[in-house]
Amino acid sequence: MKRKLIAALAVCAMIFAFAGCGSSDSEQAADGQKNITIAFCTWAGYAPLFIAQDQGYFEEHGYTPDIQIIEDESTYGSLFSSGSIQALGQVMDRDLVQFEAGAPESYVCTMDASTGGDGLVAKAEIKTVNDLKGKTVALDKSATSYYFFMQVLADSDITEEDVTISDMGNDEAGEALLAGNVDAAVTWEPILSQCADQGTLLASSKDYDKTVVDILTVSNEFAEENPDIYDVLADCWNRSVDYLNENFEDGCAIMAKGLDLEAEEVQEECAGITFYDKAMNDAFADTSKEGNVMEVAQSMAKFWMDKGEMTSDDVTGFFPTLAK
């Protein structure tokens, strides 16, 4: 899953740029529409929201969207707290860490799951996950790639103690493998395919399709002021996925323009993504079914609590529309 990073100075500049542009009250546009600022990073999995913007889905519900690209997740919680953003697309386990740390946000719907866009890849002579015993694996221990890696290890005969983890970003991990500096890496597209071409793809998110899951969340304060926003955001998302499924090339072109990427890049990223439409969202949100979104979130929360990044694995408060 390709997500770009920016330097600390750029993050600071972005925070100052947002200061004053958000409000704890729902701001009214001149035409009576309500303003909503939505943020996410450069990743095709979130980009159908540009289709919703382009097709006027938000305006049909009385909202004017301002979609912002923000690359660094460390800023999201503070932007929620300041009222500078009202909705966010982000990978779920990091949302849970952020929520437990005090970010005032709640789950709206599932946007997508990485189904091939992320993976564990190794040098050509390494053929199985068990062959990683005694080897060095590059991955980001502060990101979803760590959670993914541990799910893969759970299906093997080795444990985390059997490998040496070299902590680095996902792009850097792939580059380190290509340079021969590590034995294996957890990385994402497009560098994942480059590594696989030269080595062995040991596991991918296609094999663990509910491990790297992106969700849409909303500010609790904004939702209190606008109780319809859960349904509005979910409807805009679901309709956008329908549009993309029915008009793939045009949808990718709209998404590419919003992400400032080439349409071909977006189409390639989409190959490793499963976008959740209304039917998939309804099924995933059904708490009576095994493997529902709250169960998946519980597993993620327990993992990060065990790793010391959360003090509780209770996710109930994160799902106000489901936990009834």
Considering the domain boundaries, does residue 244 fall inside one?
yes
Question: What is the DSSP secondary-structure string of 176-201?
Answer: HHHTTSSSEEEEETTHHHHHHHHSEE
Q: Is the confidence at residue 25, as pLDDT, over 80?
A: no
State which residues form the domain around 282: 8-113+212-318
97-107: average pLDDT: 94
CB atoms within 10 A of CB 323: 12
Two structure tokens written together for 222: 């904004």
Say yes or no: 233 and 296 in one domain.
yes
Q: Is the confidence at residue 24, as pLDDT, over 70?
A: no
Q: Is the confidence at residue 211, as pLDDT, over 80?
A: yes
Q: Each residue of 276-296: pLDDT tens digit?
A: 999 999 999 999 999 999 999
What CATH number did the domain enclosing 242 receive?
Answer: 3.40.190.10
pLDDT of residue 16: 37
Run of H or E including 68: strand 63-69
Considering the domain boundaries, does residue 323 fall inside one?
no
Domain end marker among 154, 179, 204: 204
Say yes or no: 108 and 158 in one domain.
no
Per-residue confidence band for 324, with pLDDT thresholds at 50, 70 and 90: low
pLDDT of residue 30: 57
Say yes or no: 82 and 123 in one domain.
no
Q: Single out the residue of 122, 120, 154 nearest to residue 135, CA to CA.
A: 122
Say yes or no: 199 and 221 in one domain.
no
Say yes or no: 225 and 310 in one domain.
yes
**Angle CA(299)–CA(304)–CA(309) in degrees, nearest 5?**
155
34-39: average pLDDT: 97
Say yes or no: 23 and 131 in one domain.
no
CA 104/CA 91 separation, integer angstroms:
16
pLDDT of residue 176: 98
Q: Each residue of 225-266: pLDDT tens digit?
A: 999 999 999 999 999 999 999 999 999 999 999 999 999 999
Say yes or no: 86 and 152 in one domain.
no
Say yes or no: 178 and 291 in one domain.
no
Considering the domain boundaries, does residue 50 fall inside one?
yes
Say yes or no: 62 and 92 in one domain.
yes
Considering the domain boundaries, does residue 235 fall inside one?
yes
31-55: average pLDDT: 95
Considering the domain boundaries, does residue 138 fall inside one?
yes
User: Alpha carbon of 302 to those of 27, 100, 107, 150, 186: distances in Å?
Assistant: 38, 12, 18, 13, 21
Say yes or no: 176 and 29 in one domain.
no
pLDDT of residue 66: 97
Say yes or no: 109 and 123 in one domain.
no
Q: Each residue of 147-191: pLDDT tens digit?
A: 999 999 999 999 999 999 999 999 999 999 999 999 999 999 889
Q: How many domains does the chain have?
A: 2
Considering the domain boundaries, does residue 312 fall inside one?
yes
* Secondary structure class of 215 (helix, strand, coil): strand
Q: Return the residue matching tokens 């395919």.
A: 193
Residue 303 CB contacts under 8 Å (≥ 6 apart), including other chains: 93, 147, 150
pLDDT of residue 185: 98
Instruction: Mark out the alpha helices in 74-143 (DSSP H runs).
Output: 76-82, 92-100
Considering the domain boundaries, does residue 324 fall inside one?
no
Domain end marker among 204, 232, 267: 204
Alpha carbon 291 to its chain's center: 19
Q: Which of 7-21, 72-86, 99-113, 117-131 has the weakest average pLDDT?
A: 7-21
Q: Is the confidence at residue 46, as pLDDT, over 90?
A: yes
pLDDT of residue 9: 31
Gap between the terminal Cα atoms of the chain = 33
80-90: average pLDDT: 93
Considering the domain boundaries, does residue 2 fall inside one?
no
Q: Is the peptide bond before 190 cis (omega within 30 degrees of 0)?
A: yes
pLDDT of residue 209: 84
CA 123/CA 183 separation, integer angstroms:
6
Provide the mean pLDDT of the chain: 90
CA 182/CA 216 separation, integer angstroms:
35
Say yes or no: 186 and 259 in one domain.
no
**Angle CA(123)–CA(125)–CA(129) in degrees, nearest 5?**
75
Per the model's pLDDT, the better-predicted residue between 18 and 107 turns out to be 107
Residues facing 37 on adjacent strands: 66
Query: Cβ(252)–Cβ(270) under 8 Å?
Result: yes
Domain end marker among 183, 204, 225: 204
